[in-house]
C-alpha cells in the first residue's frame, strides 16, 4: 500500500493553482486535507502524476458573516466548523453534523472544500449544503461561478465543478429567528460513514412548518431533498400525517445496496429518520418559542 | 475478591514481605514503548536489505497458465522476481495434519502457489526490490495468465457430490470429522419435558493486529545461518519449522522476536509468505523484509470461527437439563494450517459444549470442510465463543420454554463448587472450578434484580433493554496433549534462567514471549518476589532462540501459568544458592538467612547482613576469600510443564446489559460484567486488562466483525473502512471481578486469563439481545448482530 510516484507542487495563489490545473489536466489532483485523496492513492485507486497542494492559499480560508450570508472558505477544516462561534450561531446544523464526521485526527485535517469536491454520497457536509440551500463558489480562469447546492452534487464523487476549476468557498443564508436545524444519522460506529442520514432546516410557526428542507444522504448517489416534506407545509401536523409522509418519502427512494445495508433497509431507515426528524424539529420549534 | 478456601493453607514462597504478587505494578517495558523506543520488525534495517512484495491471486480458484515477469524485471530497483516453482527448489512443502486428530487430512502447501491458486490472496510470485514502493510498481507489470476454476465457497454444499473437490487426491472436501457420544442421549432427551432446538451462525472474522505480520530474514552464507526477525508468539516453533523446510539444522536458525504489536493467535502460525521470505533470503543471499499491508493482512492472516452449529437441549420442568446435542459445520479454506492444524477449533467446540453443567448426556458431530477462501486457524479463545454461545443460547431457550429465570436455571445446573475434581461429558478433567461462586458474585455486582426491575419499567415506554448471562470454561496451560502428542514440535514446557550479576542485579531469560500481555512484567514480579529483590533489579530477556531456554512461547493462555512457574522455580534455586554462599561468607546457616531489600538478612530479626552487590563482588572477583570447597552457582535454570492435568481449566461468567432499537435494529451496549477465576492473580491490572481486551474482541464478533465473501470467493471488505473492528465509542464499561481457586499443579497456582473475555462475551450479548426482543417473539442466533440481521428477524424489511 504505497502510492505510485507523483510530483508535488505547493501553489502560492489561486491563479497559480488554476494555471497548474489547466497545464496538467487530468493528470493533476488538488490536495486539500488529503483525508480522502491520500488513502485512495495509497490503495492505488487513483494515481495522479502531480498533486497541487492548495494548503497555503489564505484566500480559501476564513469564516465570516456578511449581512445575511455566512461565508466559509474551502480550506476550513472540519474541526474549525466544530469550534466556530459564527457557525454555531448561524448554521448550527453544521456544528451538529461535523461531530459525526470521522474522528478527531481526520477532522483536524479534512476540509469543507475537500469534502464537497469529493462528493461522497454518504458524507455529511454535502447534505448540509443542500439542506441549508448553500451556494457553492467555484473559481476558474474565467472568474467565479456560483452554483446552487441542488445543482452541484451530480452523482457518486461527481460534481458540477469543471476539471480546471477549484472550489473556493460556500455561502449560506444565516439562520432566521424561527428556524430550527436537525441532524441525525445511523452509522454502525461513531465516525463511520452513515447507512442513512438527514440534515434539515425548518421554519416552525404555530406548531407547523412554513419551510422544511430535509436533505438525506447515504440513500442515493448524491444527497437528496425529501419531496414528501411538501406534504407537511402549512398544515396542522398529526402523527398520521407524519406517518403518511414518511411512507411517501420511502417510496421516493431507490437506495443502493452495499455490505452494510440492503436497499430496503436503507429505505426503512430513511423513513424512520424522516419521522424522527419531523418530530424533533417540531419539538425544537416549540422549545425555541415558535408559538405552538 | 473472594479467595477460595484452599488459599489460606498455602503460604508459599510468594507470601513474602514486599511481595509483588497480587499487586498492580507498572510494566518494565512501558517507558520504552510509550517513548517510541520499541523495536518492531518494520523498524529493523540491515545492510543490503531488500523488500519483498507478493503478487497475489485475484481469483479464489484458478490455474496458473503462465507468468511473464520480463517487463517487471526491467523496472527500477528490482532485484529479482521469483515464482513458486523457482522457490520450491529452496523450500519444501508441508501438510498441516496432526496424528491425534484422527483422519484429519490436508494437501501439500507450498510457500507460493506453483500451478494453481486456491484462494484469493495466495501468493503467486515474489517481487524483490530495493524498496517496498518500487516492488509494488514492478508488481503491477508482472503478467499472470490465469484460467479460472469453479470456486468452492459455501461450506453447506462443500460436501455435495456436485461440488468440485478442491484437492482431488484427497477424495472429497471433508478435512476432518469428529463424533462424540456419551451414550443414552436419546433416552435423556426422552426424559426431558421440553426439547428446544436452534441453529447458531457465526461469522468468519479475523484478529486485526495493529502491527501486521512482518519478517526480516537474513541468510548469512558465510556463517551458514539464517536469522529471522519476526513478530511471532512461538520463536522455537518457527526455528524448528524454518530449519526443517530449508534443509538446515535448528542450530543454523536463530529467531529473534523483539516488540510485537498484537498477536491474538494471528502470529502463532506458519504462513506461506513468511516461509517464502525465509527462502528468498537463502536464495538471494541477502536480508529480505516482508511487512504485510492491511489489504494483505485481511486476505492472508488466518481467519477464524465461521461455524454453523445446530444445537438441541432437553430440559425438565424443574429446570434440570437432561441432554445436549450439537451438529457443527465449519469451512477452513483450502489447506489445514501448519503446524497447529485447522481442525482444533471444531474439536474444541465438541469438547466444550455443555462444559459448565452437570448434564452427562451429550452427542456431538463436527465437520470441517475445505473451501476456496483464506485459511482458518486458531485465534484468541479457539472454539470457546462458539461452544459458549451455543450452550448458553440453548440454556436460555430452555429457560424461556419452561418459564424459568436465566440465572435460576444456571444455578440449578452449573457444577457445584465442591464437586471437584470431576470431568465433562467429553472427558475433560476439572481440578477446581467455581461456577457457582462466580455466578453469585456476578448477580451481586450487576444488581441483577435491580436491572430486571429497570427493564420492566422501561418496556412500558417502548424502550427495549436486555440482560444476557453466559457461563464459560476456558482451556489454559495446555500440556503436550494439545499439540505434542500429535507429533507437532511445539514445546509445551517452558524454561527460565536467572542469574545474579556482578553488581547484585538479576538477569532473567525466559522462553515465553511478550506481545503486550505483560509477560515481561509478570516474570519480573515473580523473580523479584521469590528472590527478595526490587523489581527494578530484574531484567527480563525474551524472544531470542539463541538467548533463552527452549520453550513454547505465549499462546493458549499459558505464559503466566507455565512460564511463570518456571520463573518461580528457577528463582527458588538461585535464592538457595545465594543463601548457601552467604552462609559461608557470614559463617551462618542458610536456614537462618533470608533475602529482602536486595540484601541478605537474618531470617529472624530481619537485620541486614550483606548486600547482594557485596556478595556478588566476592563471588565473582574474590572467590579466593571463600572457604575451600565452595563453588557458588549464581545462575539457575528450571523448566516446567503441567503433568497431572492436560489443561488447567478456568471458568467464569459474563453478563451484558444492552438496548435494542427495534425500529432501526441498532444495539447499544450499556454495560458488561465478567467474574472469572484464573487462580493466583500475579498482577490484577494485567489480568483485568486481558479480560477487558478479550471481551472487546468478543463484542467485535458479536456486533461488527465479519469477513464478507461473495459467491465467487472474493473477500469484499478487506479494509478497515468496511471490516468493522470494535472501537471505544461503542464499548460499554466492563466491570471485572474475581474468584480465586489456584491450581495445585504448580506452586504459583496461576491459570491463564488471556482468552476468558473472548470466550463468553458474544454469548452474553446474543442472550441479551434475545432477552430485549422477548416481547416481539423473535429469536436471533446469528452473529454479527448487525442492524440488518435484527431488522430482518423482526420482519421490518
Ligand atoms: C478514516 C476516515 C473516516 C472518514 N469518515 C468520514 C465521514 O464519516 N464523513 C465524511 O464526510 N467524511 C469522512 N472522511 C473523509 C474526510 O471528511 C475528508 O476530509 C473529506 O472527505 C475530504 O476532505 P479533504 O480536505 O481531506 O480532501 P482531499 O482528500 O485533499 O481531497 C478530496 C478530493 O477533493 C478534491 N479537492 C480538494 N479540495 C478541493 C478544492 N478546493 N477544489 C476542488 N477540488 C478539491 C481533491 O482533488 C480530491 O479529489 C473520512 C476519512 C477517513 C480517512
Residues of B in contact with A43 (CB under 8 A): 295, 719
Q: Which residues of A touch B719 (CB under 8 A)?
A: 43
Tell me, yes or no, whether B629 and B704 share the same domain. Answer: no
The minimum-distance atom of ligand 1 relative to the CA of A32 is 30
Tell me how far apart the alpha carbons of residues A282 and A50 are, in angstroms, rounded to a whole number.
Answer: 50
Q: Which of B608, B640, B672 is the last residue of a domain?
A: B640
Reference B25, options B529, B509, B680, B748; nearest CA is B529
* B131 and B239 part of one domain: yes
Q: How much is the mean pLDDT over chain A?
A: 95
Q: Does B106 lie in the same domain as B19?
A: no
Nearest to B144 by CA among B34, B62, B67: B67
Report the distance separating Cα A41 and Cα A44, nearest Å: 5
One domain, residues B422 and B518: no
Cell 504489536, residue located: B261
Q: How far is A123 from chain B (nearest CA, A)?
A: 14
Q: Which residue of A has its CA nearest to B785?
A: A188
User: Can you give the three-state secondary structure of B632-659, one letter per residue?
Assistant: CCCEEEEEECCCCCCCEEEEEEEEEEEE
Say whether the peptide bond before residue B784 is cis (omega within 30 degrees of 0).
yes
Instruction: State mean pLDDT over B650-659.
Output: 98
Residue that has been written with the C-alpha cell 482468552 in this structure: B755
Q: Do A4 and B137 touch (CB under 8 A)?
A: yes
- Across the interface, do B719 and A43 touch by the CB < 8 Å criterion? yes
| Residue to test with chain A: of B52, B297, B703, B788, most A Cβ within 10 A | B788
Report d(CA B85, CA A96) in Å as an integer: 58
Calculate mean pLDDT across residues A85-99.
97
Q: Ligand 1 mean position to B90 CA, how many Å? A: 47
Q: Is B358 within a domain?
A: no
Structure letter (DSSP) for residue A256: -
H/E stretch holding B134 reads helix B132-139
**Could you tell me if B661 and B765 lie in one domain?**
yes
- CB contacts of B787 in chain A (<8 Å) are 186, 188, 195, 261, 265, 269
Name the DSSP letter for residue B732: P
- Concatenate the DSSP letters of all residues of B149-163 into one string: ------TTTTTSTTS
CA distances from B360 to A110, B159, B415, B423 (A): 61, 31, 11, 10
Q: Which of B353, B361, B410, B415 is nearest to B195 (CA)?
A: B361
Q: Which residues of A touch B (CB under 8 A)?
A: 1-5, 43-44, 186, 188-193, 195, 259-262, 264-265, 268-269, 272
User: Is the distance from CB of B484 to CB of B490 less than 8 angstroms?
Assistant: yes
Q: Do A186 and B787 touch (CB under 8 A)?
A: yes
**Least confident interval from A171-175, B9-13, B113-117, B230-234:** B9-13
Chain B neighbors of A1, CB-CB under 8 A? 136, 293-295
| Whether the Cβ atoms of residue B552 and residue B493 lie closer than 8 Å to each other | yes
Instruction: Confirm or reject: Cβ of A39 under 6 Å from ligand 1.
Output: yes
The distance of A260 to chain B (nearest Cα, Å) reads: 8
Assign domain A179-287 to its CATH superfamily. Answer: CO dehydrogenase flavoprotein, C-terminal domain (3.30.390.50)
Best residue among A57, A118, A127, A187 to mutate for probing ligand 1, ranked by most atoms within 8 Å of CB: A118
In angstroms, the Cα distances linking B453 to B300, B450, B457 are: 48, 5, 6
Strand partners, B53: B127
- Nearest Cα of chain A lies from the Cα of B762 at a distance, in angstroms, of 17
Share of chain B above pLDDT 90, in %: 97
In sequence order, the β-bridge partners of residue A249 are none
Looking at CA atoms only, how far is residue B138 from chain A in angstroms? 11
Element (H, E) at A201: strand A196-205
Last residue of a domain, one of B613, B640, B667: B640
Q: What is the pLDDT of residues B540-596, one digit of tens each?
A: 999 999 999 999 999 999 999 999 999 999 999 999 999 999 999 999 999 999 999
pLDDT score for A291: 40
Does residue B783 have a pLDDT over 50?
Answer: yes
Among B663, B702, B719, the residue to mutate for chain A (most A Cβ within 10 A):
B663
Query: Any idea which residue has 493458549 for its cell?
Result: B556
For residue A262, the chain B residue with the least C-alpha distance is B788
- Ligand 1 close to Cβ of residue A137 (< 6 A): no
Burial state string for B97-118 with b = 16 or more CB within 10 A and e = fewer than 16? bbebbeebbbbebbbbbbebbb
Residue of B nearest to A100 (CA): B729
pLDDT tens-digit map of B191-210: 999 999 999 999 999 999 99
Query: Are B386 and B462 in a shared domain?
Result: yes
Q: Is residue B276 part of a domain?
A: yes
Report CA-CA distances (Å) from B657 to A235, B89, B691: 42, 57, 17
CA–CA separation, B797 vs B795, rounded Å? 6
Residue B350 lies inside a defined structural domain of this protein: no
pLDDT of B89 over the 60 cut = yes
Question: Is B314 inside a domain boundary?
Answer: no
Q: Are residues B219 and B80 in the same domain?
A: yes
B322: phi then psi, degrees, rounded to nearest 5: -95, -30
Q: What is the pLDDT of residue A2?
A: 87
Q: If you search the block for the grid coordinates 509478570, which residue do you land on?
A: B522
Protein residue with least CA distance to atom 17, ligand 1: A110
Supply the CATH number for residue B506's domain. 3.30.365.10
Do B115 and B237 fall within a single domain? yes
Q: Which of these, B479, B173, B456, lies nearest to B332 by C-alpha position?
A: B173
Closest C-alpha residue for ligand 1 atom 6:
A102
Query: Cβ contact (<8 Å) for B716 and A259?
Result: yes
The DSSP-derived string for A15-76 is: HHHHHHHHHHGGGEEEESS-TTHHHHHHTTS---SEEEE-TT-GGG--EEEETTEEEEETT-
Take residue B651 and report the three cell numbers written for it. 471458568
Out of A5, A44, A189, the one facing B730 most closely (by C-beta) is A189
- This model of the complex carries an ipTM of 0.95
State the burial class of residue B561 (Cβ atoms within 10 Å of its Cβ: 0-12, 13-18, 19+): buried
Q: How far away is chain A from the Cα of B135, in angstroms, using its nearest Cα?
A: 10
B6 band by pLDDT with thresholds 50, 70 and 90: very low
pTM: 0.96
Tell the burial category of B794 from Cβ atoms under 10 Å away from its Cβ (0-12, 13-18, 19+).
middle
Nearest CA to B265 among B215, B207, B212? B207
Instruction: For residue A39, give the ligand 1 atom closest to its CA.
Output: 53
CB distance A167 to ligand 1 below 6 Å? yes
Q: How close does chain A come to B488, measured CA to CA in Å? A: 36
What pLDDT does residue B447 have? 98
* Domain assignment of residue B374, yes or no: no
* CB spacing of B132 vs A272 below 8 angstroms: no
φ, ψ at B629 (rounded to 5°): 85, -5
Domain ranges in chain A are: 7-53, 59-173, 179-287
Task: Give the residue numbers spanning the domain of B229.
Answer: 41-149+212-260+266-300
Shortest distance between the Cα of A275 and any Cα of chain B, in A, equals 11
Contacts of B81 (CB under 8 A, 6+ apart): B69, B72, B73, B125, B126, B127, B128, B138, B142
B9 and B58 assigned to the same domain = no
Mutate to test the interface with A, among B703, B718, B727 (most CBs of A within 10 A): B727
Q: Residue B45 Cα, ligand 1 centroid: separation in angstroms?
A: 34
d(CA B298, CA B300): 6
Minimal C-alpha gap between A263 and chain B (Å) = 10
In a domain, B485, yes or no: no
Cα–Cα distance between A74 and A65 in angstroms, integer?
Answer: 15
pLDDT bracket for residue B11 (50, 70, 90): low
Distance A114 CA to ligand 1 centre (A): 4
Q: Check for a shared fold between A59-173 and A179-287.
A: no
A259 to B786: CB separation less than 8 angstroms, yes or no: no
Q: A118 alpha carbon to ligand 1 midpoint, in Å?
A: 6
Of the candidates B207, B176, B206, B202, the residue with the CA atom closest to the CA atom of residue B370 = B176
Residue B460's Cβ-count burial label (10 Å; 0-12, 13-18, 19+) is exposed
Pairing of strands B253-256, B2-3: unpaired
Instruction: Work out the pLDDT band at B7, boundaries 50, 70, 90.
Output: very low
Task: Return d(Cα B104, Cα B304) in angstroms, integer.
Answer: 18
The cell for A250 is: 420511502
Mean pLDDT of B623-647: 96
DSSP per residue over B298-347, as a string? HHHSPEEEEEEEEEEEEE-TTS-EEEEEEEEEEE--SS--BTT-SSHHHH
Interface of B with A (CB under 8 A): 132-133, 136-137, 140, 293-295, 663-666, 704, 708, 716-717, 719, 721-722, 724, 727, 729-730, 786-788, 791, 796-797
Average pLDDT, chain B: 96
Q: Of A2, A189, A192, which is closest to B136 when you measure between CB atoms?
A: A2
Does any domain span residue B783?
yes
How many interchain CB pairs under 8 A, A with B? 62
Residues B712 and B633 in one domain: no
pLDDT of amino acid A289: 53
pLDDT at A176: 87
Of the candidate ranges A96-105, B19-28, B228-237, the one whose mean pLDDT is the lowest:
B19-28
CB B356 within 8 A of CB B474: no
Beta strands, E only, B71-122 = 78-83, 116-117
Name every chain A residue with its beta carbon within 8 A of the beta carbon of B721. Answer: 192-193
- Is the same domain home to B254 and B133? yes
Check if the beta carbon of residue B201 is closer than 8 Å to that of residue B221.
no
The domain that holds B59 is classified in CATH as 3.90.1170.50
Select from A186, A259, A272 the Cβ nearest to the Cβ of B717: A259
DSSP three-state, residue A161? coil
How do strand A135-140 and strand A179-186 relate by DSSP bridges?
A: unpaired
pLDDT at res. B14? 83
Rounded to the nearest angstrom, the distance between the alpha carbon of B379 and the centre of ligand 1 is 36
Q: Of B279, B300, B321, which one is at a domain's C-terminal end? A: B300
Return the closest-CA partner of residue B651 out of B393, B310, B412, B384: B384
Cell (9 digits) for B666: 441498532
> How far apart are the C-alpha atoms of B433 and B417, rounded to whole Å?
6
3-state secondary structure B226-261: EEEEECCCCHHHHHHHHHHHHCCCHHHEEEECCCCC
The pLDDT of residue B262 is 94
Using pLDDT thresholds of 50, 70 and 90, give the confidence band for residue B8. Answer: very low
The tally of domains found in chain B comes to 3
Distance B482 CA to ligand 1 centre (A): 50
Residue B4 has pLDDT above 70, yes or no: no
Report the distance separating Cα B552 and Cα B490, nearest Å.
Answer: 6
Nearest CB partner across the interface for B664, out of A43, A186, A259: A186
Instruction: State whether the beta carbon of A112 lies less than 6 angstroms from ligand 1.
Output: no
Q: Return the minimum-mean-pLDDT range out of A78-87, A206-215, B381-390.
A: A206-215
What pLDDT was estimated at residue A288? 64
The predicted pLDDT at position B18 comes to: 82
Of the candidates B293, B788, B796, the beta carbon closest to that of A261 is on: B788
B446 & B502 share domain: no
DSSP assignment of B337-375 equals -BTT-SSHHHHHHHHHTTTTB---EEEEEEEEE--SS--
Which class would CATH give A7-53? Answer: alpha beta
**B375: Cβ contacts below 8 Å, ≥ 6 apart:** B119, B300, B302, B303, B332, B333, B334, B335, B337, B342
The class (CATH top level) of A59-173 is: alpha beta
Report the residue from B716, B727, B796 with minimal CB separation from A189.
Answer: B727
Q: Compute the distance between CA of residue B406 and CA of residue B311 in angstroms, rounded to an integer.
A: 18
b/e map A226-253, b = 16+ CB within 10 Å: bebbebbeeeebeeeebeebbebbbebb
| Tally of CB atoms within 10 A around B193 | 14
Does residue B718 belong to any structural domain of this protein?
A: yes
Amino acid at each position: 500500500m504505497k502510492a505510485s510516484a507523483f510530483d508535488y507542487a505547493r501553489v502560492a495563489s489561486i491563479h497559480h493553482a488554476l494555471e497548474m490545473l489547466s497545464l496538467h489536466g487530468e493528470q493533476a489532483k488538488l490536495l486539500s486535507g488529503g483525508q480522502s485523496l491520500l488513502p485512495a492513492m495509497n490503495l492505488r485507486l487513483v494515481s495522479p502524476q502531480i498533486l497541487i497542494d492548495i494548503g497555503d492559499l489564505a484566500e480559501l480560508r476564513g469564516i465570516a458573516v456578511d449581512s445575511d450570508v455566512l461565508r466559509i472558505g474551502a480550506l476550513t477544516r472540519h474541526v474549525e466548523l466544530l469550534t466556530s462561534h459564527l457557525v454555531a450561531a448561524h448554521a448550527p446544523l453544521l456544528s451538529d453534523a461535523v461531530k459525526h464526521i470521522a474522528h478527531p485526527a481526520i477532522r483536524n485535517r479534512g476540509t469543507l472544500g475537500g469534502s464537497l469536491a469529493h462528493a461522497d454520497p454518504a458524507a455529511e457536509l454535502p447534505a448540509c449544503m443542500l439542506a441549508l440551500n448553500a451556494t457553492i463558489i467555484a473559481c476558474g480562469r474565467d472568474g467565479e461561478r456560483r452554483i446552487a447546492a441542488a445543482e452541484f452534487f451530480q452523482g457518486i464523487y461527481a460534481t458540477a465543478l469543471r476539471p480546471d476549476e477549484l472550489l473556493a468557498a460556500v455561502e449560506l443564508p444565516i439562520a432566521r429567528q424561527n428556524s430550527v436545524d436537525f441532524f441525525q444519522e445511523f452509522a454502525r460506529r461513531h465516525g463511520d460513514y452513515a447507512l442513512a442520514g438527514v440534515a434539515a432546516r425548518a421554519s416552525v410557526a404555530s406548531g407547523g412548518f412554513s419551510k422544511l428542507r430535509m436533505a438525506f444522504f447515504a440513500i442515493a448517489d448524491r444527497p437528496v431533498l425529501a419531496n414528501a416534506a411538501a406534504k407537511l407545509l402549512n398544515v396542522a401536523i398529526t402523527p398520521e400525517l407524519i406517518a403518511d409522509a414518511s411512507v411517501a418519502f420511502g417510496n421516493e427512494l431507490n437506495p443502493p445496496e452495499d455490505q452494510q445495508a440492503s436497499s430496503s433497509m436503507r429505505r426503512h431507515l430513511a423513513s424512520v429518520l424522516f419521522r424522527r426528524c419531523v418530530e424533533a424539529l417540531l419539538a425544537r420549534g416549540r422549545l425555541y418559542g415558535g408559538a405552538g | 475478591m473472594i479467595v477460595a478456601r484452599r488459599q489460606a493453607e498455602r503460604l508459599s514462597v510468594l507470601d513474602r514481605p514486599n511481595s509483588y504478587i497480587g499487586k498492580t505494578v507498572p510494566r518494565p517495558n512501558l517507558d520504552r514503548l510509550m517513548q517510541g523506543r520499541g523495536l518492531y520488525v518494520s523498524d529493523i534495517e540491515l545492510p543490503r536489505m531488500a523488500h519483498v512484495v507478493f503478487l497475489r491471486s485475484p481469483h479464489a480458484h484458478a490455474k496458473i497458465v503462465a507468468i511473464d515477469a520480463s517487463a517487471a524485471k526491467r523496472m527500477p530497483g528490482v532485484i529479482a522476481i521469483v515464482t513458486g516453482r523457482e522457490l520450491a527448489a529452496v523450500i519444501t512443502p508441508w501438510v498441516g495434519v496432526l496424528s491425534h486428530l484422527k483422519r484429519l487430512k490436508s494437501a501439500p502447501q507450498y510457500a507460493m502457489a506453483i500451478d494453481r491458486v486456491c484462494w484469493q490472496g495466495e501468493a503467486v510470485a515474489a517481487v524483490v526490490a530495493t524498496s517496498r514502493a518500487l516492488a509494488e510498481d514492478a508488481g503491477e507489470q508482472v503478467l499472470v495468465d490465469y484460467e479460472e476454476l469453479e470456486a468452492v465457497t459455501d461450506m453447506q454444499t462443500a460436501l455435495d457430490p456436485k461440488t468440485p473437490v478442491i484437492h482431488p487426491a484427497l477424495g472429497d472436501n471433508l478435512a476432518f470429522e469428529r463424533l462424540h457420544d456419551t451414550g443414552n442421549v436419546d433416552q435423556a432427551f426422552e426424559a426431558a419435558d421440553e426439547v428446544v432446538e436452534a441453529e447458531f451462525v457465526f461469522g468468519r472474522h479475523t484478529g486485526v493486529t495493529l502491527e501486521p505480520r512482518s519478517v526480516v530474514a537474513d541468510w548469512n552464507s558465510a556463517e551458514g545461518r539464517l536469522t529471522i526477525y519476526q513478530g511471532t508468539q512461538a520463536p522455537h516453533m518457527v526455528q524448528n519449522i524454518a530449519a526443517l523446510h530449508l534443509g538446515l539444522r535448528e542450530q543454523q536458525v536463530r529467531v529473534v522476536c523483539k516488540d510485537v504489536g498484537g498477536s491474538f493467535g494471528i502470529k502463532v502460525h506458519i504462513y506461506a509468505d513468511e516461509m517464502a521470505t525465509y527462502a528468498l533470503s537463502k536464495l538471494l543471499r541477502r536480508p529480505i523484509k516482508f511487512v504485510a499491508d492491511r489489504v494483505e493482512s485481511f486476505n492472508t492472516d488466518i481467519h477464524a470461527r465461521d461455524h454453523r452449529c445446530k444445537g438441541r437441549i432437553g430440559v425438565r420442568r424443574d429446570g434440570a437439563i437432561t441432554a445436549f446435542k450439537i451438529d457443527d459445520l465449519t469451512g477452513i479454506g483450502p489447506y489445514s494450517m501448519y503446524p497447529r492444524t485447522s481442525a482444533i477449533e471444531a474439536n474444541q467446540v465438541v469438547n466444550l459444549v455443555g462444559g459448565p453443567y452437570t448434564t452427562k448426556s451429550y452427542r456431538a458431530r463436527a465437520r470441517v470442510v475445505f473451501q476456496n477462501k483464506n485459511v482458518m486457524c486458531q485465534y484468541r479463545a479457539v472454539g470457546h465463543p462458539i461452544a459458549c454461545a451455543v450452550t448458553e443460547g440453548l440454556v436460555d431457550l430452555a429457560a424461556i420454554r419452561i418459564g424459568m429465570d436465566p440465572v435460576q436455571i444456571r444455578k440449578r445446573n452449573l457444577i457445584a463448587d465442591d464437586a471437584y475434581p470431576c470431568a465433562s461429558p467429553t472427558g475433560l478433567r476439572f481440578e477446581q472450578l467455581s461456577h457457582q461462586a462466580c455466578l453469585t458474585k456476578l448477580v451481586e455486582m450487576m444488581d441483577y434484580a435491580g436491572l430486571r426491575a429497570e427493564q420492566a419499567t422501561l418496556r412500558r415506554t417502548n424502550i427495549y433493554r436486555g440482560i444476557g448471562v453466559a457461563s464459560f470454561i476456558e482451556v489454559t496451560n495446555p500440556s503436550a496433549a494439545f499439540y505434542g502428542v500429535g507429533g507437532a514440535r511445539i514445546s509445551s514446557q517452558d524454561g527460565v534462567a536467572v542469574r545474579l550479576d556482578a553488581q547484585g542485579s538479576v538477569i532473567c531469560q525466559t522462553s515465553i514471549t511478550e506481545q503486550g500481555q505483560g509477560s515481561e512484567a509478570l516474570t519480573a514480579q515473580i523473580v523479584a518476589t521469590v528472590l527478595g529483590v526490587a523489581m527494578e533489579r530484574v531484567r527480563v530477556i525474551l524472544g531470542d532462540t539463541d538467548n533463552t531456554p527452549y520453550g513454547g512461547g505465549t499462546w493458549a493462555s499459558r505464559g503466566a501459568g507455565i512460564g511463570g512457574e518456571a520463573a518461580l522455580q528457577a528463582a527458588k534455586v538461585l535464592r538457595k544458592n545465594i543463601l548457601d554462599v552467604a552462609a559461608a561468607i557470614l559463617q551462618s546457616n542458610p536456614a537462618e538467612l533470608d533475602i529482602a531489600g536486595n540484601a541478605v538478612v537474618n531470617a529472624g530479626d530481619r537485620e541486614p547482613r550483606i548486600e547482594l552487590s557485596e556478595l556478588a563482588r566476592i563471588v565473582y572477583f574474590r572467590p579466593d576469600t571463600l572457604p575451600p570447597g565452595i563453588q557458588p552457582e549464581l545462575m539457575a535454570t528450571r523448566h516446567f510443564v503441567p503433568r497431572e492435568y492436560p489443561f488447567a481449566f478456568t471458568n467464569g461468567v459474563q453478563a451484558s446489559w444492552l438496548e435494542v432499537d427495534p425500529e432501526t435494529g441498532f444495539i447499544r451496549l450499556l454495560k458488561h460484567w465478567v467474574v472469572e477465576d484464573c487462580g493466583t492473580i500475579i498482577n490484577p491490572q494485567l489480568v483485568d486488562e486481558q479480560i477487558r481486551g478479550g471481551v472487546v474482541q468478543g463484542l467485535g464478533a458479536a456486533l461488527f466483525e465479519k469477513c464478507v465473501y461473495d459467491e465467487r470467493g472474493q473477500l469484499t471488505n478487506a479494509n478497515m473502512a468496511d471490516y468493522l473492528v470494535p472501537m471505544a465509542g461503542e464499548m460499554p464499561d466492563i466491570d471485572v471481578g474475581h474468584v480465586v481457586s489456584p491450581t495445585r499443579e504448580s506452586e504459583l497456582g496461576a491459570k491463564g486469563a488471556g482468552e476468558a473475555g473472548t470466550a463468553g462475551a458474544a454469548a452474553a450479548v446474543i442472550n441479551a439481545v434475545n432477552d430485549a426482543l422477548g416481547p416481539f417473539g423473535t429469536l436471533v442466533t446469528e452473529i454479527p448482530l448487525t442492524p440488518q440481521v435484527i431488522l430482518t428477524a423482526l420482519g421490518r424489511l
